[in-house]
A and B are shown apart, each in its own frame.
Chain A
Amino acid sequence: MFIYEAAFAAALVISAFLALHIDETIYAIISFGATLTLLSGLYFFMNAPFAAVFQIVVAVGAVAVFFLAGEMLTPKKGSPQKMRDKIIGLLIASVLAVLPIISDLHVKAFSKSYDLSFASALWEFRALDVIAQSIVILMLALGIVMVLRGKGGK
């Protein structure tokens, strides 16, 4: 890992832990969005720009949905989380973040490299999967809209 990859990995682990540890839903969602965005950055470092772009698109959608759901469903009352609790969470996250940075497994990469582009891998090997999955996702979106509209009408 290079230094910037290590920084991204550390920030990723810390934001992931804080997303679950912080009690305030809005801050937790912001931290979760940061996690997904940092993950997208790591994909970019791994020469996977398509995966990075896809991940960031999903991150934007997920954060928007979580933000709306969190804003709608979270009660405004409740005692605030103690600062000591937050600092302990940050320390635990920092300790966890050190693990992937200092570890070095020395696993050799495969020497054989396949000459297969992303487009050919997508359309020559998994074309049926892609088409079938897009149909399933379309049906799913329609189903959710119908369920929510049906519930709202009652």
Chain B
Amino acid sequence: MEYIILSLVLLAIGIYGLVTKRNLLKVLMSIELIAAAASMNFVVFSFLVGDQLGQVFFILALSVDTAMTAVVIALVLIAYREHGILDVWELSKLKES
């Protein structure tokens, strides 16, 4: 059952990236890692229980995650096109001005 620890480690790495990185693409990668860590638990518990329903939920969760990535990538492209910056802090400063 070390897969739960593996999932926790992946979650920790994702949170590390979310907190420390300022590049929007890196932030998106961190969110992807957090989502992968969370949805991994569906497969792990499905494996333990011997029920395939967990895999179905995993596929549904992964679809939502992929859709979210597509939306965020589109937003990143628009933000870069409009302002020419990818830095989260710089983008947040635009709100003040």
Residues of A whose CB lies within 8 Å of any CB of B are 1, 9, 12-13, 16-17, 19-20, 25, 28, 32, 35-36, 39, 42-43, 46-48, 50-51, 54-55, 58, 61-62, 65-66, 69-70, 72-74, 96-97, 99-101, 103-107, 109-110, 112-114, 116-118, 120-122, 125-126, 129-130, 133, 136-137, 140-141, 144, 147-148, 151
Chain B residues with CB under 8 Å of A32's CB are 29, 32
Shortest CB-to-CB span from B90 to chain A, Å, is: 13
Shortest CB-to-CB span from B10 to chain A, Å, is: 6
Q: Is the interface of B mostly helix, strand, loop or mixed?
A: helix
Chain B residues with CB under 8 Å of A136's CB are 67
Contacts A/B (CB < 8 Å), 24 sampled: A12-B10, A13-B10, A25-B25, A35-B36, A42-B3, A48-B43, A48-B46, A62-B69, A65-B69, A69-B77, A97-B9, A100-B2, A100-B6, A113-B50, A114-B50, A118-B55, A120-B52, A121-B52, A121-B53, A122-B59, A133-B63, A140-B70, A140-B71, A147-B74
Chain A residues with CB under 8 Å of B53's CB are 114, 116, 121, 125-126
Chain B residues with CB under 8 Å of A46's CB are 3, 43-44, 47
Say whether A121 contacts B62, CB under 8 Å.
no
Q: Is the interface of A mostly helix, strand, loop or mixed?
A: helix
Interface check B1, CB cutoff 8 A: yes
Say whether B25 contacts A70, CB under 8 Å.
yes
Interface check B91, CB cutoff 8 A: no
Shortest CB-to-CB span from A130 to chain B, Å, is: 7
Please tell me which one of the listed residues B6, B48, B57, B63 contacts residue A110 in the complex, with CB atoms under 8 A apart.
B48
Chain B residues with CB under 8 Å of A42's CB are 3, 6, 40
A55 to B1: give the CA distance in the assembly, Å: 21
